[in-house]
Amino acid sequence: MKLINRIKSGVGLFTLLTSLSACHSTFRQDSFEDKASFMEYVKDLDYGLKMVAEFPNGVKITPLFVPNDLILSEAKDKESFKGNLYLILSFSRNGKELLSQLPQGEYGAFVQTFSFGMDRFISAFIDDSKEAIKPIMTSFQPTYQMTNSNDLLVVFKRSEILNGRKLRLVINDFGLQTAEIKFNFDSKDIAYLSNVNILN
């Protein structure tokens, strides 16, 4: 419980106020040589596709909206699933996977939650609406300390998510005692992804 207690003690002390929307750049690049070049591009928070909530104890939660080309490789899949909107939700601590740093007795339960139950804790809200939009699916693949974060793929229906001016992404506490975390996105920033073309 040591890590969880440290997380709890840091709640409310984000270095980033996630309730604030990012400032946006006026220039938009639509074509990218490969997936790596796109990921390098969206590191800039000014583009409004990525936000970061960071706790004093090193825990970091990062939502990133990505284009279909980053997830789907086959042309037929891109056509079949063009109505989907993809979000990568990353969890880390001090630059390493979060789950691997949990107490051994809790690791299995959290992996189970990530694998089969995270859709219960994630919601989106349009503008000032109180009606929650739930993901149509979430997907998690354990990476066994081979990456810098635990990444959860979250899938929404594009037509539901982009039906307004603002999008509020809410992550409810799922056992880390982080309380409710909110990220505010501009729908126009997310809509830009439909124009992105990753060449290779």
* Structural domain spans, the chain: 2-198
What is the band of 3 on the pLDDT scale with cuts at 50, 70, 90? Answer: low
% the chain with pLDDT above 70: 86
pLDDT of 198 strictly over 70: yes
Higher pLDDT, 180 or 20: 180
pLDDT at 13: 45
Stretch among 52-56, 59-63, 186-190 having the lowest mean pLDDT: 52-56
Closest CA to 193 of 90, 51, 91, 87: 87
Stronger pLDDT, 32 or 26, i.e. the higher one: 32
The CA-based angle 33-36-38, given to 5 degrees, is 70
Instruction: Indicate whether 17 pLDDT > 80.
Output: no
- The pLDDT assigned to 63 comes to 98
> Binning pLDDT at 50, 70 and 90, where does residue 78 land?
confident
Averaged pLDDT of the chain: 86
Burial 96-123 (b: 16+ CB within 10 A, else e): ebbbebbeeeeeeebeebbeeebeeebb
Query: What is the predicted pLDDT for the residue at 75?
Result: 66
- CA dihedral of residues 26, 170, 139, 178 (deg, nearest 10): 120
pTM for this predicted structure: 0.84
Please give the DSSP secondary-structure letter assigned to residue 193. Answer: G
- Output the pLDDT for position 15: 41
Question: Dmax over Cα atoms in the chain, in whole Å?
Answer: 48
Q: Tell me, what's the pLDDT at 169? A: 98
Least-confidence region, from 21-30, 100-109, 188-197 = 21-30
Q: For residue 160, list its beta bridge partners.
A: none
153-169 pLDDT, tens digit each: 999 999 999 999 999 99
| pLDDT tier, 105 (very low <50, low <70, confident <90, very high otherwise) | confident
